[in-house]
Amino acid sequence: MAFSKGPQAARITSTDVARAAGVSRATVSFVLNGTSTARISEETRSRVLAAADELGYVPHAAARSLRAGRSDLILLPAAVSATGRLFSDWVDDMETALGERGYTVVLHGNRSPDPVTAARAWAQLRPAAVLAMAPNSLTAEAVQVLAQAGTTAVLTIAPEPMPGVFTLLGDQSDIGRVAAEHLVSRGRRRIGVLMPTERGLSAFAEPRLAGIQRVATVHGATVTPLPMPYGGEAASALAVLCRELGLDAVFGYNDEYAALLSAALNDHGVDVPGQIAVVGADDLLLAQIVRPQLTSVRYRLPAADLIADTVDSLINRGTAEPLPSVWFEPVPRQSS
Amino acid sequence: MAFSKGPQAARITSTDVARAAGVSRATVSFVLNGTSTARISEETRSRVLAAADELGYVPHAAARSLRAGRSDLILLPAAVSATGRLFSDWVDDMETALGERGYTVVLHGNRSPDPVTAARAWAQLRPAAVLAMAPNSLTAEAVQVLAQAGTTAVLTIAPEPMPGVFTLLGDQSDIGRVAAEHLVSRGRRRIGVLMPTERGLSAFAEPRLAGIQRVATVHGATVTPLPMPYGGEAASALAVLCRELGLDAVFGYNDEYAALLSAALNDHGVDVPGQIAVVGADDLLLAQIVRPQLTSVRYRLPAADLIADTVDSLINRGTAEPLPSVWFEPVPRQSS
DNA sequence: CTGAAAGCGCTAACAC
DNA sequence: GTGTTAGCGCTTTCAG
């Protein structure tokens, strides 16, 4: 496709609007922001609005927040690809809820090697709030970086409260714990744990593994970590390995990986759950689609509206009421 | 969890760095941006760098781009939840590829009723580029809004070139066409078309339906649109309806919806593909996991690196070489 | 009720 | 080589 740039369109600023409406820039600002300290006549008001509309004026967010000293940007660090449907639906709801409260939500795919580097990248944008939902995405130093950039509304999920951060109490290792307790109660003792090799997922996978190991130790079960990239051949190879190792159960990291492995086991003539039980996590619809239907671990976050109110309060008052913990429960189905 | 705001951290600006290093703000700027017009002594350079590091200085992106008249922000309007794995992997690759080229990629979940409103929301951020990959997310007027905001690097996918926009040639209706041709060649004549009711998806679903209708008309097949929300009960109800309507094939919108329906058909004793053939789209791994394995339509986008180069060229030179079209092909499996 | 004026933090001519 | 200076587009006192 041939493509060449059209003529550069004129850049419209509030000065242009002011000139067109025959008022000062200050008046334009008052009208457009509905500032109540200044009373603007209805006639002036509509003239300004008409001029802005006519010229196709769009305010410059950067200039606005630079001057105002606050921004309406909320940063949600998350790699889309590392996002199951459960979380992405929640993100969607958060965007809606925060949008209704006047914020601009933006997802920032996080390619940083460590929390401080990541925090620096976020801090450049001077967001009003950062919602760091991935485990271990924050350290004290990272929080400090954000604070120095003026972002004091920081929210995260962690096993215990982090200083200076609004912490949603929740522990990924509980997912492992719940899954392991379920498997052990079903008599399984040789548990494999699928570890996805995709970047960004080990932060979730490691604690899940740890949770399983804790339960296993108590009940004298063995735990074997099984690295696996998301793909059919890898799953097939791993299915063979599972049989060779004589495992009687696999925790599949989440439903997607678990379903992949379960199908591969099936292809290799391994009966699920007869020979090997498989448990996933996230309780995606996928778990109900596949056969055998997949046992899963569901987690629930507080409702988006509740969290949005919290974030809003954090931004405006610097403090917020505690929220209920993140909460995990097993959903037994055919695969275990 | 109780939470209260800690002490407000001091805001560090380049002035602070300059003072700490005993130089002017200009010198700080030169050092930090590696501006080559000014020669800075190695000694000054390292003193500035040390001071910046010491103070934990993070540049203010808004101030920077306000002054420089250009931003390194690239906006990718996309609702995470409306994103299949195929697309989200591509997004991930784009973030990496553009990140390597010095850009900050940000996803903007698009809750706007129309393209112009959406464009206005994007334009507020004055991005260097907008990658509007969802069909029909752009109109001439929306492009105009972006151009007035200084965003001339706009990329989209559309059936034919849009003026002022770098258009990746590709037509969602081809997905429907490919699917319908496949079904017709297998002797199917009573085709149902699953239409997801989730917001944001009709832009994809409508053209796919249109593509199917075109093929059906030619071959004397009937087409029945079947609205369905993403969920187990809805799928179940629809399975019953499919049987009642005497359909012999269903195009499932994409693999996720198709798999859901296929499982529901199975639950209701309908043989797939014996009685009803099911075809998905996107060729997700899911299609290989489910039984019967799902026939799908795969599409391929040009490689992320290629598109990143195009975007870079669009930003810096205002023009770019044509790219290969988006490309669709059927992937026959057991379900049809 | 409206306008003049002072910056927010930063960059890039242009001086020295 | 390094510093001075003039803004980028906007908000917000403070006068009138």
Cα atoms found within 13 Å of the Cα of residue A311, Cβ hemisphere only = 33
Q: Is A63's Cβ below 8 Å from some Cβ in B?
A: yes
Residues 6+ apart with CB under 8 A from A28: A14, A17, A18, A21, A48, A52
Q: Could you report the per-residue pLDDT of A140-196, keeping only the tens digit for each? A: 999 999 999 999 899 999 999 999 999 999 999 999 999 999 999 999 999 999 999
What's the whole-number mean pLDDT along residues A55-59? 91
Q: Is this model's pTM higher than 0.95 or not?
A: no
Cα–Cα distance, A318 to A313 (Å, whole number) = 7
pLDDT of residue B299: 87
Tens digits of per-residue pLDDT, A302-313? 999 999 999 999
Same fold, B14-59 and B173-300: no
pLDDT tens, position by position, A98-129: 999 999 999 999 788 899 999 999 999 999 99
pLDDT of residue B86: 79
**pLDDT of B82 strictly over 90:** no
Residue A5 has a pLDDT of 45
Q: Does the pLDDT at position B6 exceed 60?
A: no
Chain position carrying tokens 């967001």:
A127
Mean pLDDT of B293-310: 94
Token pair for A145: 């970086």
Mean pLDDT of B248-263: 95
pLDDT at B112 over 90: no
pLDDT per residue over A214-261, tens digit each? Answer: 999 999 999 999 999 988 899 999 999 999 999 999 999 999 999 999
What is the average pLDDT across B79-88? 77
User: How large a percentage of chain B has pLDDT more than 90?
Assistant: 67
Q: Residue type at A329?
A: E
User: What class, spelled out in words, does domain A73-169+301-325 have in CATH?
Assistant: alpha beta
Q: Which of A114, A283, A219, A102 has the alpha carbon at shortest distance from B232?
A: A283
Q: Which chain B residue has the Cα nearest residue A323? A: B1
Model confidence at A4, in pLDDT bands (50, 70, 90)? very low
Interface contact A2, partner B, CB < 8 A = yes
Nearest CA in chain A to B141: A56
User: Would you place residue B110 in the very low, low, confident or very high pLDDT band (cuts 50, 70, 90)?
Assistant: confident
What is each CA distance from B175 to A304, B53, B212, B298, in whole angstroms?
Answer: 35, 52, 8, 8
Q: How many angstroms separate the CA atoms of B272 and B278, rounded?
A: 7
* pLDDT tens column, A72-88: 999 999 887 766 777 88
The residue of chain A with its CA nearest to that of B317 is: A5
Q: What is the rounded distance in angstroms from the CA atom of residue A66 to the CA atom of residue B289?
A: 51
Nearest to A1 among B124, B148, B322 (CB): B322
Residue ranges of domains in chain B: 14-59, 73-169+301-325, 173-300
* Mean pLDDT confidence for B4-23: 76
Over residues B204-210, the mean pLDDT reads 95
Backbone phi and psi for residue B124, each to the nearest 5 degrees, phi listed first: -55, -35
Judged by C1' against the alpha carbon of A15, the nearest nucleotide is D9
Class of CATH domain B173-300: alpha beta
| CB atoms B286 and A291 under 8 Å | no
Close Cβ partners of B248 (under 8 Å, ≥ 6 residues apart):
B188, B189, B190, B191, B275, B276, B277
Q: Which of residues 52-71 of B touch strand C (CB under 7 A)?
A: 59-60, 63-64, 66-68
User: Residue A36: its pLDDT value, please?
Assistant: 63
The residue ranking higher by pLDDT, B229 or A111, is: B229
Looking at residue A38, its pLDDT comes to 62
Is B294 touching A (CB cutoff 8 A)?
A: no
Q: Which residue is nearest to nucleotide C5 (CA to C1')?
A: A26
Instruction: Give the model confidence (pLDDT) of B133-188 as tens digits.
Output: 988 899 999 999 999 999 989 999 999 999 999 999 999 999 999 999 999 999 99
Banded model confidence at residue B3, pLDDT cuts 50, 70, 90 = very low
- pLDDT by residue (tens digit) across A19-54? 888 898 889 988 888 776 667 788 888 888 889 998
Distance from first CA to last CA of chain A, Å, rounded?
Answer: 54
Q: pLDDT class for B69, splitting at 50, 70, 90?
A: confident
Q: So what's the pLDDT on residue A161?
A: 94
Contacts B63 to A, Cβ<8 Å: 62, 66
Least Cα distance to B282 among B307, B266, B258 occurs for B258
B294-304 average pLDDT score? 93
B96 to chain A: which residues are within 8 Å by CB? 111
The structure tokens listed for A9 are 């369109």
pLDDT of residue A6: 47
Is A60's CB less than 7 Å from nucleic acid strand D? yes
- The domain A14-59 having CATH identifier 3.90.600.10: the answer here is no
Nearest CA to A199 out of A86, A79, A76, A119 is that of: A79
